[in-house]
Structure 1
Amino acid sequence: MIPLVDLKSEYEKLRSNIQKEINKVIEDSSFILGSNGKEIESKISRYTNTKYGIGVGSGTDALLIALESLKIGKNDEVITTPFTFFATAEVITRVGATPVFVDIDPKTYNINPELIEKAITKKTKAIIVVHLFGQPADMDPIMKIAEKHNLKVIEDACQSIGAVYKGRKTGSIGDAGCYSFFPSKNLGAYGDGGIIVTDNEEICQNAKLLRNHGSTKKYEHKMIGINSRLDELQAAILKVKFNMLEEWNIKRREIAKKYTEELNGIVNTPFVEKESLHVFHQYCIQTKCRDQLSSFLKKKNIATAVYYPIPLHLQPVYKYLQYKQNQFPFAEKVSKNILALPIFPMMTEEQQKYIVSSIKEFLGDNYEGD
């Protein structure tokens, strides 16, 4: 079986160094808020050219804490995309605010900047921008809109560590950037983990308080926080894997390029902005016979996945927002046609050739268009 992502092959390559770091943590017996956490915070902040890195328990917690650090909550509105993982909107609701959706750019699948301004009201406090599948969103117009209307910008860069927009790493452009270290991410831990990056000292200090029960001094609490700390074992693993991030992202782009060369004209292949550096957390095609192709590939022992089958505005939990079917036509169309193919740094040429030939076997030479 060719998996969607092969974490075992990554581990085999790094096994000795990872085990060495894990053993050190266990021998030192310092598991929470220790030196490894500080080191990975420093590495990520330097890598993204930001002043501060705050390790947290997950990418979802990073988004939640970023919102709370910016004092966004009850009666506020936050604009975001309906075509993303549920957590992006979930955290908005969790802090007591209301998610306001706008449609996506049909080429990049990211939020369409041209639609944002129409969605702004007196209650709007922020925009959460998602760099979906590793493709940077168009940040320049978004930042101009935010500045014009005095809005905060949080970058959901959970899928885009290493991606670059006009010379700047995603996550470093808005008020705060949030990354996930979920195991399948381009930089993944062996459990949950995340980090917030920012140039804003107040956001940094608030985030550090919020991740640790609102406390800097033991048993003294300055605000209501949560327990969301990047533990030392995960931080130690991330230190080892961080050294491979750039090399593995390059490999992902090489695999993506081969896919596109072979499949362009047969399916709708990913669009990449010229001034951006995509890191291909996922390689997603579109085809009108998505479900049939997925079933066929499964029989060929090739894993696929659908990201995402139900746009957020149509999720049952958000019925109260009273969005309607066809309100965001591009998000809805993509959700019906999109299919993620296997992509991981250790993918062999033979594996990729087999995937491509299997897709061609099923679809033939008939391009279906968009």
Structure 2
Amino acid sequence: MPVPLLDVNAQNLPLQEELRETFDRVLQSGRFIMGEEMEAFESEVAQMVGAKHAISVSSGTDAILLALMALEIGPGDEVLCPSFTFFATAGCIARTGATPVFVDSCPVCFNIDVNDAKRKLSSKTKAIIPVHLFGQSAAMDEVLAFAGENSLRVIEDGAQAIGAKYKGKAVGTLGDFGTYSFFPSKNLGGFGDAGMLVTNDSQLAEKALMLRNHGMQPKYYHKYVGGNFRCDALQAALLRVKLREYHHYTAKRQANAEYYLEHLLRIDGIEQASASDCGCFEQQNAQLKASQAKLVLPVAYEYNEHIWNQFTIRVLDGKREALRQYLIESGIGCDTYYPVPLHQQECFSGLASTGLPICEQLAGEVISIPIYPELTKEQKDEVIEAITDFIAAD
């Protein structure tokens, strides 16, 4: 049977009756922008992640932009961010007039390399945005120590990681701000665009609330030039339905990841990177070459709670496109996150950029396979069989 990369209907349709009842409730209320549904959703998310304040917004992208605006990041400022991530991270920095300064990645967990961030620090650096890529936390102790030593603001991009934890604490709650996305493909996927900004700083929360709604407080009195980042009441209401099921979704994704790891590691030519190799690029490459590895499986660090937004494999020796084509022909959904690092994007061609060898290598190696909660055992076995056959034929 075909195995899609993601099947949103497999998750949403079992909730169809309750979702329709929720729609009718919002319809009858006549309140479609912000309001009680949004406030209830914010309270529930804040409680789930352990944040003092949660501010729902129009998208995960707008959450990042709103955080930057609240921190008064603008022209002349530099913000450190990984190059190996989705465009919104750096795009929002550029939209404020500030300059994104691109940082290399860890080859094991795919997250920001704090040692490289230290090399990119300048007198203009005002903030750092660690991205919790694919559902696993970045090295937040190192990020926060570096930021504290240099008076930098920290915005956690948790678009792919709501509910993930770092040493027992929810990602997004460790820096000045945390941002989440509810794009339909995310672990808590909505029915269009929506996002969330969280913080434990009451003054920052108050400012962000005003900036979310044109810098206005009270009505028609504008203290700041803000934006229209308001959340639709319908999105908030529908997401509340799914939020009640979220711990089940996470547990199933984690079980799917364990199943892949257990079975794929039995195959000659497939290895899992050692967590002790984090940041040791040359050492890891040498070990993989010596072992004649063909595929490298992802790692969940023991102190993290990984929520597996993606299960991302590294395909060595230039065989990524061959595997991608083989999976597609076998009816297996897959995709490349991300084929072009941000520092190589045309829109950032005018920025000075030193070599970022790890993220450039990752961009040529990575491929993600289905990991969504509703995968059946038969579907997972099909994915494993297809990868096994590809390795055997290589």
- Alignment TM-score, normalising by the size of structure 2: 0.91
- Letter aligned with residue 81 of structure 2: T
In the other structure, the counterpart of 1:321 is: 351
* DSSP 3-state at the match of 1:320: coil
- 2:337 matches 1:307: yes
Aligned to 2:135: 134
Aligned to 2:304: 276
* Displacement of 1:120: 1.1
* Structure 1 residues 95 and 333: CA distance shift in structure 2, 3 A: same
Q: Give the equivalent residue in structure 1 for 2:64.
A: 63
Deviations 1:189-236 (A, max 9, x none): 100000000011121111111111111322222211111111111001
Q: Does 1:287 align with 2:315?
A: yes
| Backbone CA RMSD of aligned residues | 1.1
Runs of 4+ residues over 3 Å off in structure 1 = none
Corresponding residue for residue 26 of structure 1: 27
Moved more, 284-293 or 174-183: 284-293
Amino acid at match of 1:70: L
Equivalent runs, 1:84-123 vs 2, <5 Å: 84-123=85-124
What do residues 218-265 of structure 1 show as CA deviations (whole Å, max 9, x unaligned)? 222221111111111100111000011111111101101111122234
| Residue aligning to 1:43 | 44
Q: Which residue pairs with 1:226 in the alignment?
A: 227
Residue 361 of structure 1, CA deviation: 0.9
SS of residue matched to 2:197: strand
The equivalent of 1:3 in structure 2 is 4
Could you report, residue by residue, the CA deviation over 1:99-147 in whole angstroms, capped at 9, with x for unpaired residues? Answer: 1111111111000122222211111100001000001001001101111
Partner of 2:290: none
Residue type of the alignment partner of 2:75: K
Q: In the alignment, does 2:217 pair up with 1:189?
A: no
Give runs of aligned pairs for residues 146-161 of structure 1, distance below 5 A: 146-161=147-162
In structure 1, the residue matched to 2:326 is 296
In structure 2, the partner of 1:246 is 247
Q: Which residue of 1 aligns with 2:286?
A: none
CA contact (8 A) 2:102 2:353 kept: no
**CA-CA distance at 1:335 after TM superposition:** 0.5
Equivalent of residue 386 in structure 2, options 349, 358, 370: 358
Aligned residues: 364
Q: Choose which of 353, 363, 380 in structure 2 pairs with 1:335.
A: 363
Shift of 1:18: 1.1
Shift of 1:303: 1.1
Q: Aligned AA for 1:50?
A: A
Structure 1: 5+ residue runs without aligned partners? none
Residues 35-85 of structure 1, C-alpha deviations (whole Å, 9 max, x = no match): 110011111111111110001000000000000001111100000100000
Quote how far apart the aligned CAs of 1:365 are: 8.1
CA distance in 1, matches of 2:391, 2:238: 41
Provide TM-score, normalisation by structure 1.
0.96
Counterpart of 1:323, as a letter, is S
> What is the aligned-residue identity percentage?
41
Taking a change above 3 Å as real, the CA distance of residues 365 and 271 of structure 1, as seen in their structure-2 partners, is: farther
